[in-house]
Amino acid sequence: MPDILANYLTKAVADAYGEKAISSSDNTYTREVAQSVGYTDKEMDSIPASANMGVGCGSPVAAANLKQGETVVDLGSGGGIDVLIAAAKVGTQGKVIGLDISPEMISLARRNANAQGIKPPHASFVETSLAEPLPIASHAVDCVLSNCVINLVPSTAKEDLLKEVHRILKPGGRFVLDDIITKQRLPDDVKEDLTSYINCISGSIQVDEYKILLQKAGFNDFQFRETKNDLKKICSGVNNACTSSSGPKSIFNVNDWVASYQITASKSVNVEEGVKQNVPDSVLLRWWDAYPKIKSSPAAISPEYVSKLMKESAQDLAVIDVRRYDRVGDHVRGSDNWPAQTFYDDLPKFLEKYRNTRVVAFYCGSSSGRGPRCAGWYQDHLNETAITTSTAYVLQGGVKAWLAKYGNDDALVERD
């Protein structure tokens, strides 16, 4: 039963905030809300208006003391407000990763980042549930931010999330979050009201409960500071059609029941056994999570058919090698190298070059990961732009199969 309730609440939150992401907003109103909880005119002017959803209860970036080159994760990144502000502070050598459960919010945040000319790995947005293990490498992050989000995580998952935060932080790393905390035990009709949950009230906990969860997660050094922000607008900023409730009768003034707090915590500088001081090569466990999910499924194309096209109709064929660091040794003759890790960002240039090429065959080592992924992104882009003069394919078996079959044929294999 707890898992069923948690899944129900998680879906309700994703649906509600997804709807908010695609709905029109009053930019003047959302700006007033943001400024009321600590954002400055300079910060608001530095980002697209749609990055600010007007649902934060504080301004964690202001207290995070971010430095050039640091790696930051934002839990519940919404339209991207804190990620974009943090990205400016850590500079182009730094990395900021926003995590959000709503695909609509992720799409909105990516558009806002693109409008700023900011791309992965400088700023990335990843769709994921905070009730699940975070898709981030261990001991890789300098600072974790969160703004009015932990209260939206089901009670059964809060402790696990805080443990995940502790896991991904480097020794000495810090956790800066603004959240809503209950002043007293909420009445049952408030706790059971879905609208109140979505609006950050029902899922909030008391200070003592929060401290226990932080201690269980491994944090021993933490501080709580009541910020005394007016929560009337913040706690009514998301409406959801999945509930017909008009709100609990017990609440006449939300500020009588809950309060905004800024919480700071740090991970011990004592390096645990097996923890390395160096940052992993990739903070994201799966680098491709920073890009849109693939919708299409390009067909496989055999080495035999590709070799036939190379000999008889080369103008109709492009062979694309998407390997990067492992592009060593022999490869398909005439193949063009477009590394997978930057392929999505390079799609406009790629499309311009190959939009009239009938067969575009992608490969990597065995064509089981990067090759199909890039082919899918290309085909999705073709579909979205209604271009029918080019089609993406995946070279069956990748370069391994090609070399196994044609390794001795200099007309088909290029030597490094």
Query: Tens digits of per-residue pLDDT, 305-356?
Result: 999 999 999 999 999 999 998 888 899 999 999 999 999 999 999 999 999 9
pTM here is: 0.91
Does the N-terminal peptide bond of residue 121 adopt cis geometry, omega within 30 degrees of 0? Answer: yes
- CATH code of the domain made up of 299-414: 3.40.250.10
Residues with Cβ < 8 Å from 320, sequence gap 6 or more?
Answer: 335, 336, 337, 338, 360, 361, 362, 363, 374
Beta carbons of 352 and 394 less than 8 angstroms apart: no
Q: Which two tokens stand for residue 96?
A: 């900021």
pLDDT band at 171 (very low <50, low <70, confident <90, very high): very high
Task: Decide if pLDDT at 241 tops 50.
Answer: no
The fold adopted by the segment(s) 2-289 is Rossmann fold (3.40.50)
- pLDDT 10s digits, 284-303: 999 999 999 999 999 999 99
* DSSP H helical ranges for 199-330: 207-217, 303-312
Q: Is 182 in a helix, a strand, or coil?
A: strand
86-116 residue pLDDT tens: 999 999 999 999 999 999 999 999 999 999 9
- The structural domains of the chain, with segments of one domain joined by +, span 2-289, 299-414
Distance of alpha carbon 22 from alpha carbon 411, whole angstroms: 53
> Which tokens sit at 184?
């007293």
pLDDT of residue 233: 78
CA distance 392 to 296: 10
